[in-house]
Amino acid sequence: MTVTTPGAGTPATQPLDGINVSVDGIEVNVPKGTLVIRVAEQLGVAVPRFCDHPLLDPVAACRMCLVEIEGQPKPQPACAITVTEGMKVRTQLTSEIADQAQKGVMEFLLINHPLDCPICDKGGECPLQNQAMANGRGETRFDGVKRTFPKPINVSAQILLDRERCVSCARCTRFAEQIAGDPFIDLLERGAKQQVGIGDDTPFDSYFSGNTIQICPVGALTSAKYRFRSRPFDLVSTPTICEHCASGCSLRTDVRRSTVLRRQAWDNPDVNEEWNCDKGRFAFGYQADGRIEHPLVRDESGELVAASWPEAIAIAAEGLKAAGSRSAVFTGGRLTVEDAYSYAKFARVVLGTDNIDFRSRTATAEEADFLAAHVAGRFDGPSYADLEAAPVVLLVDFEPEDESPIVFLRLRKASRHGVRVASIAPFASSGLTKLKGSLISAGPGQQPALIASLTDNVAASDSAQTATLLREQGSVILVGERAAQTPGTLAAVADLARTTGAKLAWIPRRAGERGALDAGALPGLLPGGRPLDNDQARVQVAGEWGIEIDQLPPVGLSLTEVVSTVHADNSALASAADPTKVERSITALLIAGVEAGDLEDPASFLMAVDSVPFVVSLEQRHSDVTQRADVVLPVAAAAEKAGAFTNWEGRTQTFGQVLRDALTMSDSRVLAMIATVAGSQFGRGDIAEIRSEFRRIGPWSGNHTHMSDVGSVDTIELSSGEALVSTWRPLLDRGVLQEGDPYLAATARPVEARLSRATADAVGATEFVVVSTDNGSIELPVTITQMPDGVIWLPTNSEGSSLRVELGIGQGSVVRLSGGAA
């Protein structure tokens, strides 16, 4: 935009190709299609408004933004008028008519609005208050009876509605319908009784419902979590990055007296625009309650007791040093980039091992290969913007609404502008339907073949169009972390991308996974995606770490391989004639935030942790791992440290420390203390130091590894009454980071099993199904779904459906089905 002040020197010599308009006498040139209200904003003129929102289609309902436009007999809503050549606009600053019109509308808004400010959450950050002061009259002339409603009512377990406060701007209902695709709230009634409401017994359980609270310009929508908790002027705000999924949302975290009270979405046009999901917004109670407060060590009787930091660090250092290269490091997928880097360095420099793995979920060698070859240290994949411009976006083993909600929102925005979405999945989820997506139906195990058919362009007619569009410039493939669960899928996807030229992105479920990968927390990978067995790479990293090249260990083991090794050790010990002569291959474990229940075989993992002689746990909350550890060291939660997360795009975004007087230390600092006591050169664990070291190492510019041949899926013969399991984790489930937030939990989707009609009929499970394995059984209500026969879909870790822990199963497992009681 260009501004020329009248009479100030020579005018521009080049003709500008936008539209010339004047606002309050100031002449500007703006792009075609700009709304008058946006022009005014850019000039610093705040035309008051309620229903207008830059990310929602204009409705011109509130009439607060009325301005005078020369040639128009009536004042016009600035939010709905696009500029025309020569338009002369006068806002309330220079037009009496506009000013009186706005004051009039404000007076009307206040006649039925209750004087709730003293008890209303919004007070102090309220657009109605602010604009009433700026654009209203001081006194009201209303002396009648206000219309009232009983208040408040729940539109969901989390969201409360005070109907009297509502100014009918409809931002919330428009957001729900346009952006989220979840029209579970709508305007009800007519006239002055108009109110926002829900259908009977159908609460506003949308994953994005919290955004309506943030965009509500009054205090009509509030959250149960924050209601009555604070005044905005008591809050100290810090821009942060969300620690939950890999979308990379910018947040604003608000604190009062060392307690995080609220998180809101922050403006990041390239990533989350102005939205976030309810998990990112509300799930932070886990940081407050149930924290480990002191270091813990085992006393003589074997009980975990509190110890001082020096004592605990000394024991940890001694044990880890003694184990040396016979140790393994499991970092989990929730570390910041800096912390992950610290573990990666600690493993190689202090322990001398390459046994390090960040994957606390189903993970395979194929996946490690794939990540090393196609993801680690690579920053040329698609971005959010690319999603909006793609001819087609193909989803493989990826359910965006559950696994990366902001990707879902961007896809939905794209789909409303003609971008096609196709998904290789067992059934068309509600998320896919909201994207107007087409399903490429795949039961468990069928993915590689279907992907290959797209690669070879011999796809069945319904996916032929997808195969064609993938070959067009700008197409995108998004593959989820679940692809690792079906051998051959990742290799097939890599093939498809290479053949069609489509851009490929891998989207894990956790915020720390991509960063951990880039930091080198995977066997065979050094920071920046460097292959460990590449000489040049070794030179670069060793140099930076101040060690000799031959001090770098050989390629190590993944988590799965470590667990197998420990079990092999156990077997060897059990069967040895003289156990004292048998040496364990793994004698120590260093474990960060890993939840046993997330792994493929939790029982096997825990048995391994039990068996390993020395275990050090750096954790925030007690878990199955801390109970088995020899030393437990409490570490900082996300709000207690500065750091960065790298999202699925490869975009690294930093955040500051929210709780400035937190006494906890980051993993990096704790590791630095252990390293110092162990006598290793490591650094201080200082974030600036880590960042500059990591930056100096930088991404690998050499050749990445290639994927080696991968196995294929065994075809499984099902007996009668059996089915294959298809599973993933809904956004809201029993994840550890959602603990302590009951309101959020109450908005989760109903826990249910999905079966095709034929499968359900065959076992008499049209209403309820009993799913059994040798480990146990669960019973769930059934939703008949159009999906392949012989397949049952179950949520992985929800209430009443905890597949790994209760049944010992996962994706592709065989289960027995029978009908349940009504």
Partner 1 sequence: MPLTPILTAHWDDEDSHTLTGYRRHGGYDMVAVTLNSNPDDVINLVKESGLRGRGGAGFPTGMKWSFVPQNDGKPHYLVVNADESEPGACKDIPLMMANPHALIEGCILASYAIRANHAFIYIRGEVPHVIRRVAAAAREAYSAGLLGKNIQGSGFDLDLVVHAGAGAYICGEETALLDSLEGRRGQPRLKPPFPAVAGLYASPTVINNVETIANIPTIVRNGADWFKQFGTEKSPGFKLFAVSGHVERPGIYEAPLGTTMRELLDYAGGVRKGHELKFWIPGGSSVPMLMPEHLDTPLTYEDMGALGTMLGTGTPMVFDETTSVVRAISRWIHFYKHESCGKCTPCREGTFWLDQILERFENGTAAETDIEKVDEICKQIAGRSFCALGDAASTPYAPALRYFREEFLAGTHTPANQLFDPVASTVFTGAMA
Partner 2 sequence: MSLTDQTIVDARECAARYPDSRSALLPLLHLVQSAEGTVTSDGIALCADVLGLTTAEVAGVATFYTMYKRHKVGRYHVGVCTNTLCAVLGGDAIWDALSERLGVGHDEVTADGTISLERIECQAACTHAPVMTANWEFLDDMDVPRALEVVEKLRAGEPVMSTRGPRIGTFQEIERSLAGFDDGLANEGGKDVRMLAGLDYAKQHGMSAPAGPAHSPLSVAKTEG
Tokens encoding 733: 């489930």
**Binding of partner 2 by 197 (CB under 8 A):** yes
Q: Which is nearer to partner 1, 7 or 73 (CB)?
A: 73
Q: Which of 25, 33, 86, 199 binds partner 2 (CB under 8 A)?
A: 199
**Binding of partner 1 by 141 (CB under 8 A):** yes
Question: Closest Cα partner for 53 from 197, 162, 211, 210?
Answer: 211
Q: Near partner 1 by CB under 8 A, which window of 102-110, 371-379, 384-392, 578-586?
A: 102-110
Tokens 């003694």 found at: 322
**Binding of partner 2 by 185 (CB under 8 A):** yes
Touching partner 2, residues 202-221 (CB under 8 A): 202, 204
**Binding of partner 2 by 153 (CB under 8 A):** no
Q: Which of 187, 428, 713, 805 binds partner 1 (CB under 8 A)?
A: 187
- Residue 75 C-beta: closest distance to partner 1, Å: 6
DSSP characters over 111-154: HSS---GGG-TTTTS-HHHHHHHHHS-SS----S--------EE
Question: Closest Cα partner for 732 from 649, 810, 651, 796?
Answer: 796
**Binding of partner 1 by 149 (CB under 8 A):** no
Q: Which of 24, 27, 116, 186 binds partner 2 (CB under 8 A)?
A: 186
DSSP characters over 655-697: E--SSTT-----HHHHHHHHHHHHT-------HHHHHHHHHHH
Query: Residue 185 binds which entry of partner 2, partner 1, none, with Cβ cut-offs from 5 to 8 Å by kind?
Result: partner 2
Return the sign of the alpha-carbon dihedral for residues 458, 464, 469, 470.
negative
Q: Which is nearer to partner 1, 74 or 581 (CB)?
A: 74
Q: Give the Å distances, CA to CA, from 705 to 110, 507, 702.
A: 66, 20, 10
**Binding of partner 1 by 417 (CB under 8 A):** no
Q: Which is nearer to partner 2, 47 or 198 (CB)?
A: 198
Contact 793, 425 (CB under 8 A): no
Q: Which of 66, 315, 687, 697 binds partner 1 (CB under 8 A)?
A: 66
User: β-strand 768-773 against 753-755: which pairing, if any?
Assistant: unpaired
Q: Near partner 2 by CB under 8 A, which window of 120-128, 132-140, 188-196, 695-703?
A: 188-196
Q: How many CB atoms lie within 10 A of CB 78?
A: 30
- Residue 61 C-beta: closest distance to partner 1, Å: 5
**Binding of partner 1 by 168 (CB under 8 A):** yes
Q: Which of 40, 47, 64, 492 binds partner 1 (CB under 8 A)?
A: 64
Question: Closest Cα partner for 726 from 764, 750, 751, 753?
Answer: 753
Question: Closest Cα partner for 252 from 687, 242, 244?
Answer: 242
With b meaning 16 or more CB within 10 Å and e meaning fewer, what string describes 794-814?
Answer: bbbbbeebbbbbbbbbbbbbb
Q: Nearest 5°: CA angle at 352, between 350 and 354?
A: 120
Cα gap 207→408, rounded to integer Å: 11
Q: Which is nearer to partner 2, 192 or 568 (CB)?
A: 192
Q: Near partner 2 by CB under 8 A, which window of 61-69, 182-190, 642-650, 734-742?
A: 182-190
Q: Which of 37, 39, 62, 344 binds partner 1 (CB under 8 A)?
A: 62
Query: Residue 145 binds which entry of partner 1, partner 2, none, with Cβ cut-offs from 5 to 8 Å by kind?
Result: partner 1
- Residue 574 C-beta: closest distance to partner 2, Å: 60
Q: Near partner 1 by CB under 8 A, which window of 99-107, 363-371, 405-413, 446-454?
A: 99-107
**Binding of partner 1 by 744 (CB under 8 A):** no
Contact 129, 113 (CB under 8 A): no
Q: Which of 43, 46, 55, 59 binds partner 1 (CB under 8 A)?
A: 59
Query: Residue 296 binds which entry of partner 2, partner 1, none, with Cβ cut-offs from 5 to 8 Å by kind?
Result: none
Q: What distance lies between CA 52 and its chain's CA centroid?
A: 28
Q: Which residues pair with 504 in a beta bridge?
A: 477
User: β-strand 476-480 against 503-507: which pairing, if any?
Assistant: parallel
**Binding of partner 1 by 107 (CB under 8 A):** yes
**Binding of partner 1 by 165 (CB under 8 A):** no
User: In 3-state terms, what secondary structure has residue 442?
Assistant: coil
Q: Which of 23, 69, 132, 167 binds partner 1 (CB under 8 A)?
A: 167
Q: Near partner 2 by CB under 8 A, which window of 5-13, 136-144, 191-199, 530-538?
A: 191-199
Q: Which of 6, 9, 15, 144 binds partner 1 (CB under 8 A)?
A: 144
Q: Nearest 5°: CA angle at 237, between 232 and 242?
A: 120
Tokens encoding 137: 């009259």
- Residue 59 C-beta: closest distance to partner 1, Å: 7
**Under rule CB under 8 A, how many of the chain's residues touch partner 1?**
35
**Binding of partner 1 by 108 (CB under 8 A):** yes
Contact 709, 256 (CB under 8 A): no
The site for partner 1 (CB under 8 A) is made up of 58-64, 66, 73-75, 80, 100-101, 104-105, 107-109, 111-112, 141-142, 144-145, 147, 167-168, 187, 189-194
Residues lying near partner 2 in the complex (CB under 8 A) are found at 183-190, 197-202, 204
